[in-house]
Structure 1
Amino acid sequence: MIGALKGESHRCEFDGVETVPTATGRYCYVPTIHKVKLGEIVDLLRQFAEMPKTLMIPEIPNYSFAKKLYSTFLSYLPKEKAIFDLKMNIDDRGSFTELVHTINCGQVSINISKPGIIKGQHWHHTKWEQFIVVSGHGLIQQRKEGTDEVIEYEVSGDHIQSVIMLPGYTHNIINLSDTQDLVTVMYCNEVFDPNRPDTFFDPVDK
């Protein structure tokens, strides 16, 4: 439509009911058409509206109707709904906050550890994670279950790196600072399921 308003419309002729694109065609046509049932639109809009509660981003493949509908939905979002609270799980060690869930690609969270604190000390069967320290100075340790060898990665927000927590390796993250919080972005390939947590306690350094 914007192209048509600028005099740059897509032109065509018709072979029966079939569109035949041609630069000098007598008719305007829309090059991309999506055929979607009303029920699917309703389901998508419901998912979009519930996102602040579920944190779940719907499947929105590139160039899909869902992606375009989501952008349209957001463009009409009242300004007071463009901000929403996240649940911060806070204890004396710091906090852990889930940011985004996805249907097939897991979740992203933010972890804040107070000075001197160790978090983790567990391993997973099939779940894997990536830790990205964005502020502070920390040490990530991993030990393959059944062995004594400990792998260590010293990390800092001054040089941002991604460290993969390997399945079958018990792991932790230690805040090495005496004064500064350690802030870590954590990606996990699965959304946490309390019925199947796939998380087993075992200290890295026995």
Structure 2
Amino acid sequence: MSKRRVAVTGGFGFLGWHTACRLRALHDMQPVRLGREAFADPARLASALEGVDAVLHIAGVNRAATVKEVEQGNIAIAGALAQALNAIGQPVDVVYANSVQAEVDNPYGRGKARAGEILGEVVRAAGGRFADLLLPNLFGEHGRPAYNSFVATFADDVISGRTPTVTNDRKIRLLHAQDAARALIGALGFDGRQVVEADSIGIGEVLTCFEEFHELYAQRGEVPDISTAMRRNLFNTYRAAAFPTMWPISPSVHSDNRGRLFETVRVHGGTGMAFMSTTLPGEKRGEHYHLHKVERFFVVRGEAEIELRRLFHDEVVRFRLSGDQPSFVDMPTLWVHNIRNVGDSELVTMFWADKLLDVTSPDQYPATVHQETTA
């Protein structure tokens, strides 16, 4: 994709955040992220779009007090964006994060469908291209329980010790938010409608996966079978919901006259690789993030501080680990992280990742924990 100035409506929401992260990681872009405040003021919205040549329109209403508010809310948001695009008076390409529900006669579907009609007319009349993408059910890291997806609700329930009830078990199409973001970005410059395909999985199967993950991971720190893309995406969704409260984990240490022995990683299926590092006092490693990789930092000897910051957020989470009590922390996806030697002696750390290193596509993107990255 050529370098463009891109705005993301709903840029602070679930899919908007995932899309901004992907633009930053793979396209070196800092998009203009537009939230509720921009849509509350027509002049402010038009001003924010000055100089933008493409818009990924993700903002919408999923839940409201009444179904009428859901329907009308999506239409109103599209109308506000259309008015702003008219005001700037230049061609702008728009990719619309529509829903497969747009082909269904229900309040949400009617609202999404009408929103697409409003935007398509305005964009094309001004000479821009309008891509209308029909997305299935979405899930992924940092979805809001009881709002974005039943997947987020199941993860939160299992982590909190609750047992969800599946009343109408059936297979549905589920798409990870990063795959949805890839489709949206890839549609820039396209004109027309596309149905975004996704894998099918049973609702009850999702719950079973989370219960399996919880038993292996939360209780013992063992990595479950994540040999398929769906299982790994569900696992990363679970890990995001559990972070940071379950960390660090200290395994059982077995000592005798020869020294100490402890497990660092136990994996149920799939590939992986482990490596060691030594770090001198005051030195730091890391300062990057991953889109999909599962990565573990295990402090074997010395004193370490691990810092993490979720992309496009300010808060920094810190953990102190010591070789006196060997412990580990797993790095959540889409969080910038580092590890620093804060002791007086050499730091020995074991690292494990779930995939063998591919130097052509390492899934590792540079960023600093203490550098604000919001646009």
What TM-score do the two structures reach when normalised by structure 2?
0.27
Query: Could you say which structure has the greater relative contact order, defined with CA pairs below 8 angstroms and 6 or more residues apart?
Result: 1
Which protein has the larger Cα radius of gyration, Structure 1 or Structure 2?
1
> Where is the helix percentage greater, Structure 1 or Structure 2?
2
What TM-score do the two structures reach when normalised by structure 1?
0.49
